Each structure stands twice: as structure tokens, then as C-alpha cells.
């Protein structure tokens, strides 16, 4: 114990990290590789996954993984860059799915049109119905996003609209499994790299300002509500795309698209993968969705397992996997005497 | 007349559901997402003690309220205290624990008519020409008693005054030597106990069902937001407004819409008076 008291762990950036932070990154292949390797690995894993999975069933799992990943990325973006905790992944999925499902069922539009229209229209609807909570600080956003899916479910049952408890069957199905897998994977890559760019642009600085010190944003003459609405729109766009995509993947829209799974799983993936990194939730989904498929036999116990994992990570390993791996990759550690 | 009497009963049930959440939130500023799950858990534990272990009804009730209190206490001491002040993590932790409890109960197969608690007295009374079963009257009386006891507790005892101090101004209370962590632990434990008590009082009118856990949470939150998070007078007033509104809608429109009324109330109040009916001093704090 006495030995511990006078030692501390020192962390220093590796030389290659320091060099590749600046314009010297282009000085040699080593630095360029250092920067490219993690990104290329992620892209490669995603793009090669459909080629290596054993069966059609697992190809389906990749598609579902993609939907969860989109939700998780949206959750991470809202929670850790804008400061809004969104417990309503199911809301985004449900609105997107019902919107594009209705377009397809009642107007007969093909998926090529319904998915984009469903995503954008659904995202607009979500943003508008969440607007009342946006001028407020605190837990209101979490609470209202949590209640909306329950609310929609009740309305659909009570009013018996949109197919009621049976849902709307018989929608057009995506043309092929390859197309469906690669479309969602490319959307994920677009979102991950796009959002990582976005949060480093000027608007990203404003977003973080909204999270950390909204008074400063107001003092700069910017509208906090406006920026929150933009952020919610981005997250909702991803979620609604996921929903619209699921509607055409299953060829069916129903109440189970408003279920709790869609709200809980992104949370777990974010907490495990590494909050505040955008790529973390994706990694979390890559790891957790296959595990969750293997646990399918446990039924309702699965959510219990996720929740316990989530509690463990947030209490004892709150940095998550990606932040931890990044630290190991970029820095070396050693014990020094104090 | 029916609307009047059942509206009154419904409002008191809402008070019963919401008061624990309001207490925990106003003191510790932790939104206790476990509220609904403790409500269901208490009902289930009472059922287990009563039917599996063969204990008396009163003893079972005391034991399950005690367990809920203990859970609230332990969760604060073990989990919430580590993430205090980080709203994202606070919400995730309490929400995750709530899911753990509820989904575990679902896994145990908690649904259907097997899991029914007996009413305290099974007798129907006629009040002003409207038949009311005595469980509902008992619930109204218990709710009124809880409100009264809480009012006395927070106005005339040292601990209760401490809790109110923390709720109103944490820094000033700290300077006067009130331990904020102890107060928050106490508030969360007490809030959990109230959730359990609400569950045991209300569940005999129906059966124990996992889905009610989420419903109760939504109702409690709706009442607290409309009353102004942190204001107790507001909470009770809002319970009456929402309670009567629900009864009117249920009688005149459709019985499925009780939840919709609660949510509509949240949205309307957030648009027109975000600090709630009685949350005057927080208007500046919460509005950006």
C-alpha cells in the first residue's frame, strides 16, 4: 500500500501521435498509416461482414445491427454533444416505419421513394412533436421521448388507425439481401464520418456550447432552441431512416416497431462502446447485436442482461471500449515515483 | 355524480402514485425512473409473502415496503452517488435498474389473473347514489393520510425541514450543516417506500402486471411536471386536474385514452407554462 501511495501512472502521447496531429502527418507512410489504420479497419470490418457471415439468417442480423447502430449513433450525438438524453429510439423507428409504410400501402410508392420521404418526413414530425421540450433544460426531453412511444401505441390501439394491433402487412420488400445490407452499411459509414466532421465544424462548437453552457450561446445571440431542433432533426433523420428501412425489410409495419428494445439497445451500445465518440456506439452494436442474437433463447431475460451490463459499465468503466482502446493506441503509460 | 366521485378517487390515486417521485426528485434532483418498477415489485413481493410463504397480509405489506425502501437506499449508496451531478448517467442508471427489475419480473412470467392481491375489505358502499368498493375508499384515505403525514414531517420535524432546505437551496442548506448526500439517500428511500405503498394500495383493484410499471411511471411524471417539478402543492393540484380530466375523457370519449390525457397534459403544460402550475421560482432556472 505504501508503495502505491507514492507512485502514479503517467500517460504520455506516443511520438507518432504527436507528429500525426499536425501537418507533419503527411511526412511519411508511418504517420499516414497511424491515422488511417483504425478508420480503415472499421470500414473493412463493416464492408466485409456480409461476405463472411454463414447464412441468410445472419445476413438479416447485419441489417438489424445497422438499424440499431444508426439509433445508437444518434443517441450518442444527442447525449454527449448536445446534452439531450433521448430515451425514445422507438419513437424515431416507429414514426419512420409508419410514415413510409403508409406511403407504400396507401399511395403505392416504391421503396426507392418511400424510404427517403419517410426518413425526412418522419424526422420533421419527430422534431415538431419534440419541440415543446426543447426550450427547457433538465430531464424533460428524456421523459417526453420516453413517453411518446407508449402514447403512440395507445392511440393506435384506441383509435384503431394504421392497421391497429395487426399492423399493415404486405409492403414491398427490398430488392435483394445484398442491396439491403450494403445500403444500410453505407448509410452508417456516411453518418459516422459525417457526424464526426460535423461536430468539429462551427456548428459542432455551438452544439457543445448548448450542452455545457447554454447561457453563453444565448449571450452570443444564437437561439438555443433552434440549434437543439437541428440536432434532434439529425438524430431523428437517422432513426427514421432505420424505421423506414425496417418497414421494407420486413414488408410489415406494426406495434412491435414501437417496442422498448429500440430505446434500450442504443443506450447499452453507447455506454459499452464509448460515449462521446460517435464511432463507439457502432463498435458497441457490432459486439452486442451478435451476442444478443445468441441470447435469444433467454427471452425477456435479455433486457435484464443488457441493463446489468449497462449499470456495470457506467459505474465501473464509464469510458467505454473505444475510449479505452484509443488511449492504449495513442499513449503509453508508465509508473512514476512522485 | 359518477364523474365527480370517480374523478376524486382517480385524483387521489394519482397523488398516491406521484408523491414518491415528487419527493425523491425535489430533494435529490435525481429522476427516479425506478418508481414504476418498485410499484410493481412491491405488489409482487406482497403476493409472494402472502401466498408462497403464508405470512399475514399486514406483515407481507410491511416486509415489501421495507424491501422497496432498502432498494432505494442501496441504489443511491451504491450506484447513484457515483454519478451524481451527471444528468445523462443519472438517468441511464436509474432507468437501467428499473428495466432490470421489470423485465426480470416479466421473465418470471408475471401476467394474468393468477397474481391478484386481495382487497383490504371486500365490501361495496353506496356514496351519494354511486356504488364504490371499499378498496377505493381505503386508497383515498391512505393517500390523504400520506399527504398529511408528509406535510407534518416536512414542516415540523428536523429531518423533514432539512429535506425541504435541500430541495429549496442546496448550497445554503449545506452551509447550515445539512448533509446533502444523507438527505438525498433518505429522500430516495422514502420515495421508494411511497412507490411501494402506492402499489400495494392500488394493485388490489386489478392484477399485477409488468406493463403497469411503465404506465405508473408516466402518470407520476405527468403529474409532477404539470405541478412543477419540485413543488408539492403543485403536485397535488395537478393530480386533481389530470385526474378529473381523465375521468371526463374516459366517461365521455373512450376508456383507452387515460394515458393520452396524461401525455397531452405534459405537452400542453410544457408549451404554455414550462415551470408547471406552481413552480414559480424555477422559471428562470429551467427555461433556457
Could you tell me the domains of chain A? Answer: 8-337 (1.10.3470)
Cβ contact B88–A80 (<8 Å):
yes
pLDDT in tens, B80-119: 888 887 777 888 888 888 888 888 888 877 665 566 667 6
Cβ atoms within 10 Å, residue B265: 19
Question: Which residue out of B29, B88, B220, B246 would a mutagenesis test of the A interface target, given it has the greatest number of A Cβ atoms within 10 Å?
Answer: B88
Helix axes B35-47, B210-227, angle to 10 degrees: 140
Output the pLDDT for position B133.
76
- Residues 6 or more apart whose CB falls under 8 angstroms from that of A142 comprise A84, A85, A86, A87, B31, B91
Output the pLDDT for position B253.
74
- How many Å separate Cα B140 from the centre of its chain? 14
CB distance A129 to A70 below 8 Å: no
Q: Is residue B234 part of a domain?
A: no
**CA–CA dist A197, A259 (Å, integer):** 32
Cβ contact B95–A155 (<8 Å):
no
Output the pLDDT for position A55.
81
Give all strands (DSSP E) within A129-231, no chain letters. 168-169
**Distances A37 to A43, A44, A45, A49, A275 between C-alpha atoms, Å:** 10, 10, 12, 18, 21
Q: Is residue B68 part of a domain?
A: yes
pTM, two decimal places? 0.84
List chain A pLDDT tens, one digit each, 338 residues.
455 567 888 888 888 888 888 887 787 888 888 888 888 888 888 888 888 877 888 888 888 889 999 999 999 998 888 888 888 888 999 899 888 888 888 887 887 888 888 899 999 999 998 888 887 776 778 888 888 888 888 788 777 777 666 777 777 777 777 888 888 899 999 999 999 898 888 888 898 888 888 888 888 888 888 999 999 999 999 999 999 888 888 888 877 777 777 888 888 888 888 888 888 899 998 888 888 888 877 777 888 888 888 888 888 888 888 888 888 888 888 888 87
Among partner residues A138, A147, A300, which is closest to B218 by beta-carbon distance? A147
Distance between B166 CA and the closest CA of chain A, angstroms: 18
Q: What is the DSSP letter of A133?
A: G
What DSSP line would sit under A84-112, residue for residue? -----HHHHHHHHHHHHHHIIIII---HH
Among partner residues B92, B96, B286, which is closest to A136 by beta-carbon distance? B286
**pLDDT of B279 strictly over 70:** no
* Mean pLDDT in residue range B147-167: 83
Cβ atoms within 10 Å, residue A39: 14
Q: If you measure CA to CA, which chain A residue comes closest to B268?
A: A132
Q: Among all chains, which residue has been given the C-alpha cell 445497422?
A: A66
Sort out which chain A residues have CB atoms less than 8 A from B260's CB and list them: 151, 154-155, 158
Q: If you measure CA to CA, which chain A residue comes closest to B275?
A: A136
Cβ contact A307–B225 (<8 Å):
no
Q: Is residue B215 part of a domain?
A: no
Q: Is residue B229 part of a domain?
A: no
Q: Is residue B172 part of a domain?
A: yes
**pLDDT of B278 strictly over 70:** no
- Residues 6 or more apart whose CB falls under 8 angstroms from that of A25 comprise A19, A31, A32, A35
* Chain A 272-311, residues with CB within 8 Å of chain B CB atoms: 275, 298-301, 303-304, 306-308, 310-311
Residue ranges making up the domain that contains B193:
2-210
Q: Is residue B136 part of a domain?
A: yes
Kindly provide the ipTM of the predicted complex, given to two decimals: 0.78
Q: Is residue B248 part of a domain?
A: no
Helix axes A111-130, A89-102, angle to 10 degrees: 140
Cβ contact A143–B215 (<8 Å):
no
Q: How confident is the model at residue B288 (pLDDT cuts 50, 70, 90)?
A: very low
Q: Is residue B276 part of a domain?
A: no
Give all strands (DSSP E) within chain A, no chain letters. 7-13, 168-169, 252-253, 331-337
Residue bearing the bigger pLDDT, B138 or A164: B138
Cβ contact A310–B96 (<8 Å):
yes
* Mean pLDDT in residue range B233-262: 80
pLDDT in tens, B160-188: 888 878 777 778 888 888 888 888 888 88
Total domains in chain B come to 1
Output the pLDDT for position A4.
57
**CA–CA dist B94, B78 (Å, integer):** 12
Amino acid at each position: 500500500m505504501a508503495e502505491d501511495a507514492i507512485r502514479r501512472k503517467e500517460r504520455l502521447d506516443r511520438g507518432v501521435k504527436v507528429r500525426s496531429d499536425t501537418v507533419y502527418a503527411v511526412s511519411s507512410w508511418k504517420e499516414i498509416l497511424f491515422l488511417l489504420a483504425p478508420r480503415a479497419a472499421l470500414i473493412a470490418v463493416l464492408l466485409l461482414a456480409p461476405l463472411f457471415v454463414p447464412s441468410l439468417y445472419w445476413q438479416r442480423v447485419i441489417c438489424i445491427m445497422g438499424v440499431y447502430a444508426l439509433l445508437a449513433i444518434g443517441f450518442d450525438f444527442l447525449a454527449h454533444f448536445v446534452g439531450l438524453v433521448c430515451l425514445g429510439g422507438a419513437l424515431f423507428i416507429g414514426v419512420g416505419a409508419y410514415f413510409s409504410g403508409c406511403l407504400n400501402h396507401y399511395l403505392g410508392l416504391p421503396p426507392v421513394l418511400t424510404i427517403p420521404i419517410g426518413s425526412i418526413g418522419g424526422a420533421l414530425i419527430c422534431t415538431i412533436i419534440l419541440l415543446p421540450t426543447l426550450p427547457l433544460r433538465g430531464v424533460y426531453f428524456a421523459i417526453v421521448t420516453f413517453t411518446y412511444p407508449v402514447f403512440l401505441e395507445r392511440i393506435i390501439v384506441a383509435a384503431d388507425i394504421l392497421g391497429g394491433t395487426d399492423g399493415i402487412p404486405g409492403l414491398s420488400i427490398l430488392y435483394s439481401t445484398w442491396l439491403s445490407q450494403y445500403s444500410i452499411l453505407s448509410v452508417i459509414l456516411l453518418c459516422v464520418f459525417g457526424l464526426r466532421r460535423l461536430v468539429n465544424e462551427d456548428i459542432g462548437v455551438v452544439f457543445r456550447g448548448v450542452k455545457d453552457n447554454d447561457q453563453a450561446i444565448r449571450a452570443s445571440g444564437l437561439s438555443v432552441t433552434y440549434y437543439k431542433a437541428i440536432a434532434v432533426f439529425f438524430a431523428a433523420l437517422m432513426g427514421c431512416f432505420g424505421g423506414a428501412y425496417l418497414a421494407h425489410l420486413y414488408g410489415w409495419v406494426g406495434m412491435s416497431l414501437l417496442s422498448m428494445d429500440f430505446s434500450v439497445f442504443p443506450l447499452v451500445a453507447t455506454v459499452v462502446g464509448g460515449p462521446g465518440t460517435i464511432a463507439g456506439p457502432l463498435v458497441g452494436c457490432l459486439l452486442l447485436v451478435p451476442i444478443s442474437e445468441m441470447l435469444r433463447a433467454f427471452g425477456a431475460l435479455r433486457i435484464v442482461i443488457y441493463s446489468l451490463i449497462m449499470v456495470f459499465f457506467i459505474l465501473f468503466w464509464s469510458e467505454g471500449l473505444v475510449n479505452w482502446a484509443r488511449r492504449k493506441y495513442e499513449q503509453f503509460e508508465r509508473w512514476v515515483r512522485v | 355524480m359518477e364523474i365527480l366521485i370517480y374523478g376524486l378517487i382517480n385524483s387521489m390515486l394519482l397523488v398516491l402514485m406521484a408523491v414518491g417521485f415528487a419527493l425523491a426528485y425535489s430533494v435529490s434532483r435525481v429522476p427516479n425512473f425506478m418508481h414504476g418498477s418498485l410499484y410493481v415489485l412491491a405488489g409482487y413481493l406482497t403476493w409472494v409473502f402472502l401466498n408462497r410463504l403464508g405470512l399475514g397480509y399486514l406483515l407481507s405489506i410491511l416486509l415489501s415496503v421495507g424491501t422497496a425502501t432498502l432498494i432505494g437506499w442501496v441504489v443511491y449508496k451504491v450506484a447513484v452517488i457515483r454519478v451524481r451531478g451527471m444528468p445523462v448517467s443519472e438517468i441511464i442508471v436509474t432507468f437501467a435498474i428499473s428495466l432490470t427489475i421489470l423485465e426480470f419480473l416479466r421473465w418470471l412470467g408475471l401476467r394474468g389473473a393468477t397474481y391478484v392481491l386481495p382487497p383490504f375489505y371486500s365490501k361495496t358502499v353506496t356514496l351519494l347514489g354511486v356504488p364504490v368498493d371499499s378498496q377505493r375508499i381505503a386508497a383515498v384515505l391512505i393517500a390523504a393520510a400520506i399527504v398529511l403525514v408528509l406535510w407534518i414531517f416536512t414542516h415540523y420535524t428536523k429531518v423533514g425541514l432539512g429535506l425541504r432546505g435541500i430541495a429549496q437551496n442546496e448550497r445554503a442548506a449545506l452551509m447550515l450543516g445539512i448533509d446533502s448526500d444523507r438527505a438525498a439517500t433518505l429522500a430516495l428511500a422514502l420515495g421508494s417506500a411511497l412507490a411501494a405503498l402506492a402499489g400495494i394500495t392500488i394493485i388490489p383493484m386489478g392484477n399485477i402486471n409488468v406493463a403497469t410499471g411503465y404506465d405508473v411511471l408516466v402518470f407520476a411524471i405527468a403529474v409532477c411536471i404539470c405541478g412543477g417539478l419540485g413543488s408539492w402543492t403543485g403536485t397535488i393540484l395537478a393530480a386533481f386536474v389530470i385526474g378529473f380530466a381523465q375521468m371526463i375523457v374516459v366517461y365521455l370519449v373512450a376508456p383507452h385514452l387515460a394515458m393520452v390525457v396524461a401525455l397531452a397534459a405534459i405537452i400542453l403544460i410544457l408549451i404554455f407554462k414550462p415551470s408547471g402550475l406552481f413552480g414559480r421560482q424555477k422559471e428562470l432556472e429551467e427555461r433556457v
